Structures are given as C-alpha cells and as structure tokens.
Amino acid sequence: DAMVIQNPRYQVTQFGKPVTLSCSQTLNHNVMYWYQQKSSQAPKLLFHYYDKDFNNEADTPDNFQSRRPNTSFCFLDIRSPGLGDAAMYLCATSRAGREVAHEQFFGPGTRLTVL
Amino acid sequence: ILNVEQSPQSLHVQEGDSTNFTCSFPSSNFYALHWYRWETAKSPEALFVMTLNGDEKKKGRISATLNTKEGYSYLYIKGSQPEDSATYLCAFRPRSNDYKLSFGAGTTVTVRA
C-alpha cells in the first residue's frame, strides 16, 4: 500500500545533541510537510517542500532545518534540541493544486524526548 | 495565523450513545474544511473534505455538516463504539493559499464500553 513512513517512531536525545528524523513516501506526491505537535495543541507547520523548493514558516526557529534529497525522502534536522522541542513530529504529503480533495496524507509521527 | 478552534477538548461517551463536537474557523476567504481521525499510535486518517455551505458528508456512523457563512462545522458520531476512540482534528484551507492547512487542536473522544 502507498504510504508515508516515519523513522524512528520514538527518539530520545540529549539536550543540545543534534538529531535527525526521517520521512519517506511511496505516493509520489510533490509536496512534503513537517509539523510539530505539542500536547493538546494544534499541529504547527514548520516548513514544507514544494518539489525541491523549501518554504519556511515565519516563526520556525533557526534550530530546525530540513533536507529533501529526492521526491521520496525528507529529513528534519534539529541542530541543538532544547527541552521545549520535545513533541510529536508529523510528516505529511500532498499533491499540490487547486483540486478540491486536496488532502494531506500523514505518517504515524516521531515522538521526540529531550533529556 | 488562522484561528481554528475545536470544542470540547475531550469528551467521554458511553458505548451506544451518540455525540457531536465543533470546529470553528474564519468565515471569510473559505475554500475547504478537512476532518481527520487520529487513533493512538497510528497516522491521522482523512475522514472528509467539505467545500460547500450546507454540505453534509457521511461515512458509516460518522457524519459532518458545514456552515461557511458563520464559520463552523459539526462532526457527529452515532451509536459510538470503542473503535471510535480517537482524536478528531479539523483543518481549514483558505482560498488565498493553494495547499497549506491550519489545524485545530482536536477533540479527543473516549468511548467507554
């Protein structure tokens, strides 16, 4: 089945130690998104790729970076994780365009713990 | 930042009872409203995409209505079952943006057997 896969599902890191979360998709969608969700809050868009074009949200901290080496893979790099970066990180994909059923397809998320 | 609110934040339902909850969103510049179901340890799953004022969508025992003029959508669960336990997220898509969604914080439903 076509899907969005995130690895690892759970990640524990130390304060200040760089960490990379990965996302892959078999849907061949041209847009990939990274969201951060903290407990009881709305998923917050960090950035997205439209094909190879990187689009950063205005309030995304510089500590967060992303790479998309090809259509299928996208990485979230947190350069120096702080305690406040502990959250669920969701990857999603979509096919861009003005069609109505423009739904996003999500991975199961990576739960990041910062010690 | 687009303000999308969901209420209540959580609710508990007895198995067999029906329930509903609300998503409110900006009434101007509306393009589409999405509903997702997110079960624990799984991926959020799309339920509905709604675009027309007065729209009503149904999937099994779950249905949703849309009022774009006043900026709200209701999601209904009829005859709740334990497998309906999940967080239900709504997401607003404005006309001015091609593909980005603004999410609410979700309503977490727990169905007690």
Taking only the tens place, the pLDDT of each residue in A58-114 is: 999 999 999 999 999 999 999 999 999 999 999 999 987 656 556 899 999 999 999
Tally C-beta pairs within 8 A across A and B.
Answer: 52
pLDDT at B8 (0 to 100): 97
Residue with token string 């209505």: B65
Chain B residues whose C-beta is within 8 A of a chain A C-beta are 4, 9, 32, 34, 36, 41-46, 49, 51, 89, 91, 93, 98-106
Q: What is the CA radius of gyration of chain A?
A: 14
What does the pLDDT read at residue B95?
A: 84
Q: Kindly give the residue spans of alpha helices, DSSP state H, lying in A21-71.
A: none
A47 phi, psi to nearest 5 deg? -165, 170
